[in-house]
Amino acid sequence: MAWIGVDLGTQSVRAVLVDSSGDVLSRASRPLTSRRGEVWHEQDPREWISTVEQVLAEVTPYGEVEGLAICSTSGTVVLTDRDGRPVSPALMYDDARAAGFLPRIVAADPERWGSSMQPTWALPKVLWLGPESDQLVAHSADVVAAHLARHPVATDTSHALKTGYDFGWPTESFERLGLSADVLPGVVLPGTVIGNVKAQVSGVPAGTPIVAGMTDGCAAQIAAGALTPGAWNSVLGTTLVLKGVTKELIHDPTGAVYSHRHPDGDGWLPGGASNTGAGALTAMLPGADLDVLDRAAWDRQVEAAIYPLTKPGERFPFVAPEAEGFVLGEVTDDLDRYVAVQHGVAFVERLAFEHLAGLGAEPPRSVALTGGAVRSEHWNQLRADVLGVPVELPEAADPAYGMAVLAASGGTSVAETARRMVRVSRALEPRKSDRLEQLYGEFVAELKRREYLR
């Protein structure tokens, strides 16, 4: 028996076939095309469909398929007809053209959206698209699932979050915005069967269950096995994203933290996304061989930290649209700069955990590290040292793998299924460092001095 996970990402579609013991039987990937402007970012949803069919054709010959689930970028929306076929371009997760609708949304329901709604979330984009009565609002994963099932499907609580879902669609608030609930999909918990493959598609047998997925960040959290309180997943790629678990919904008056429903329905997945991350290394060290710098970093003691914003504005662990990057201490060459950026991101990561703990989340007892930055052995150990807790590196922590685990849960506990299937390749213990403690204190003091952190 095996299950397929599909990750409908920004740059590519990835698929993975996983058996019941967690072994990866096959993988496939194909690129996607984006169209970008200064504040807009579109993709063609028809390309999603054709590309998904290509990757499914590559992974399916290697095992019997029991089900599949799809994740996609959070906040991406598209309009379809009543048969589920796309009729508009997809407005991607970072498309900001609808930012002007934000004051109107907040005014429609200040208590609900006053501190949480952000200009790139899906709801402003839906208003910008202006769905007609014969159209439906869909998220990326919904479009592909509808194509496989040959009918519109329910979305999941995870994808629906940034479209305004909260224990149900807020129909009265939507009415004040002139948005009819008739154009919105039904909503189910992740892991719910939302349809079956209508006819054999690229080797996926007809009748294969299609399981409601989650957004890509939550999918990565499943793949990391961080699904119980105290276990956290920190995804360090271009940006830094933290995800954890709480039994009770936590509220952040600053709007920096928001929570998805736990796929098991018995808790919440709080987290946030910083504008800092590993992307700063390529921006600040163009053309540098980062692998060479990483090997050299072990022998260099750097008394500096860079808050590595590549453009103004921060959203987590604090909200500061005016925030700008800065250098703390002396940086004399590329190696200093490399390590100082690592310091800065690790300090933001620790500050984020402190912010979450201040809101009532359980502090980390371990952190699963995922994302492209785990290539850096120096950074992995540094993050453990700064956080003061063990860090774990899962064997297969990509979102597609998380969707295969979700599909394999078969309506049972996703947390238990992940415990059975997810494997940790290795763990790193923290090393005490008074030097890093002092530098972290200076970094936080500088954020306060600049009034980014209040």
Q: Let me know: does 408 contact 18? Beta carbons within 8 Å.
A: yes
pLDDT of the residue at 411: 84
What is the rounded CA–CA span in Å between residue 145 and residue 267? 26
Phi, psi of 183 (to 5 degrees): -90, 0
CATH of the domain at 86: 3.30.420.40
Residue 88 amino acid letter: S
| CB-facing half-sphere around the CA of 414: CA atoms within 13 A | 32
Distance CA 37, CA 126 (A): 19
> Three-state secondary structure along 30-79?
EECCCEECCCCEEECHHHHHHHHHHHHHHHHHHCCEEEEEEEECCCCEEE
Whether cis (ω within 30° of 0) applies to the bond prior to 317 is yes
Contacts of 391 by beta carbon, 8 Å cutoff, 6+ apart: 366, 367, 368, 369, 380, 383, 384, 427, 428, 430
Residue 40 C-alpha from the chain's centroid: 20
Co-location of 201 and 335 in the same domain: no
Which residue reads 């989650």 in tokens?
Answer: 214
Contact residues for 207 (Cβ-Cβ < 8 A; gap 6+): 196, 197
145-201, pLDDT tens digit by residue? 999 999 999 999 999 999 999 889 999 999 999 999 999 999 999 999 999 999 888
**pLDDT score, position 115:** 78
170 found inside a domain: yes
What's the total number of domains in the chain?
Answer: 2
CA diameter of the chain = 64
Among residues 213, 248, 272, the one where a domain terminates is 213
Q: In which domain, by residue range, is 435 found?
A: 225-449
User: What are the Cα distances from residue 44, in Å, to 86, 146, 222, 243, 256?
Assistant: 9, 16, 28, 29, 31
CA atoms of 438 and 434, how far apart (whole Å): 6
Are 48 and 119 in a shared domain?
A: yes
Tell whether 454 is covered by a domain: no
Same-domain check for residues 168 and 235: no
Q: Which helix (H) or strand (E) holds 3?
A: strand 2-8
Q: What is the DSSP letter of 23?
A: -
- Are 231 and 209 contained in the same domain? no
Reported pTM: 0.89
Q: What is the pLDDT of residue 238?
A: 85
Per-residue pLDDT of the chain (454 residues; tens, 9 = 90+): 899 999 999 889 999 999 999 999 999 999 999 999 989 999 999 999 999 999 999 998 777 899 999 999 999 999 999 999 999 999 999 899 999 999 999 999 999 998 788 889 999 999 999 999 999 999 999 999 999 999 999 999 999 999 999 889 999 999 999 999 999 999 999 999 999 999 888 889 999 999 999 999 899 999 999 999 999 999 998 889 999 999 999 999 888 998 999 999 889 999 998 999 999 999 999 999 999 999 999 999 999 999 999 889 998 999 998 999 999 999 999 999 999 999 999 999 999 999 999 999 999 999 999 988 999 999 999 999 999 999 999 998 889 999 999 999 988 999 999 999 999 999 999 999 999 999 999 999 999 999 999 8
Specify whether 151 is located in the same domain as 230.
Answer: no
Last residue of a domain, one of 180, 213, 246: 213
Residues 26 and 173 in one domain: yes
